[in-house]
Amino acid sequence: MTHSELPGREALASRAVPSMVFSTGSASSMTPPPPQEIPRDASTGAQKRFTVRGNAVITGGAGTLGLHACAALLEHGLDGLMIFDADPTHAQAQIDDLRSKFPSATINAMKVDVTDEVAVDAAMAETVTQLGSIDALFCFVGIVGCVESLAMPIAQWRKILDVNTTGSFICAQAAARQMVARGNGGSITFIASISGHRVNYPQPQVAYNVSKAAVLMLKSCLAAEWARYGIRTNSISPGYMDTILNEGEGIAEHRRVWAERNPTGRMGAPSELTGAVVLLASEASSYINGTDIVVDGGGVVL
């Protein structure tokens, strides 16, 4: 121990540590119980249960999984959509198609680096200017690297955690600040992974697995802290999904192994993730907070 370290260590004895504050759940709180009456018209009640209201930000929304989520949310009544992506122009045709299919919704896109907190704050503020509010956030942005851990460059390790974990927190914090300022609560959903629950096989991808395990804990911590503001924080853990990221002859053997080790016998289709997306953005999930929904065909049970 050096002399220069002493002031910092001594200061620990006089520090003031903040404490979490939970909601009371009362009618005047941000987490009141919903009305309990059963609608007379069954079809109306069923439709209302999974209606999505307000506006959503989808990070990585120009990717395959993100675009399917965007379409599903719009189908269920989303009023406004803002897509954050490193390059939304590569999906311009699909975004234009969404505008054509949902002419009553406002659908916009911005180029955003989720690891840049200044840029993310500005983008969230601009979203509120354009749409009026942020009621839901879905964080689809993520990168992966498959490399033996003994050979992994530390720069690659840092990059993966910076995008997948820190980027998720940056976006959640910026969106939550807008939600708190408006005072109407909201929903935040991280896209975690089965990679956060178990070691992948046969490919080595330690940094990705660690980053997604951290996202699962991030979800739990924010769920505890932000519930009093009426913000529900959850996550979805997809299994191996049949997207362009998992195509190519170079991983054909891996695809075979993934299918054989899954009780369902195959990879997931992007549309099979949308049920969980709609659920967590709708009124049907009003008492779902701090939960991870695994969508993997049963692979995680093995």
Kindly list the catalytic residues.
193, 208, 212
The residue count for the chain: 302
Tokens of 48: 């209302």
CA separation (Å) from 76 to 66, 157, 275, 282? 16, 38, 11, 9
Chain position carrying tokens 């362009």: 244
User: Buried (b) or exposed (e) across 144-162, using 16+ Cβ within 10 A?
Assistant: beeeeeeebeeeebeebbe
Chain position carrying tokens 């049949």: 242
Q: Which of 188, 292, 285 is nearest to 239 (CA)?
A: 292
Q: Which of 38, 218, 54 is nearest to 131 (CA)?
A: 54
The enclosing H or E element of 221 equals helix 206-226
Please give the Cα distance from 167 to 180 (Å, whole number).
Answer: 20
The SS3 of residue 205 is coil
Instruction: Return the number of other C-beta atoms located less than 10 Å from residue 111's C-beta.
Output: 14
Instruction: Return the number of other C-beta atoms located less than 10 Å from residue 86's C-beta.
Output: 16
| Contact yes or no for 164/142 (Cβ under 8 A) | yes
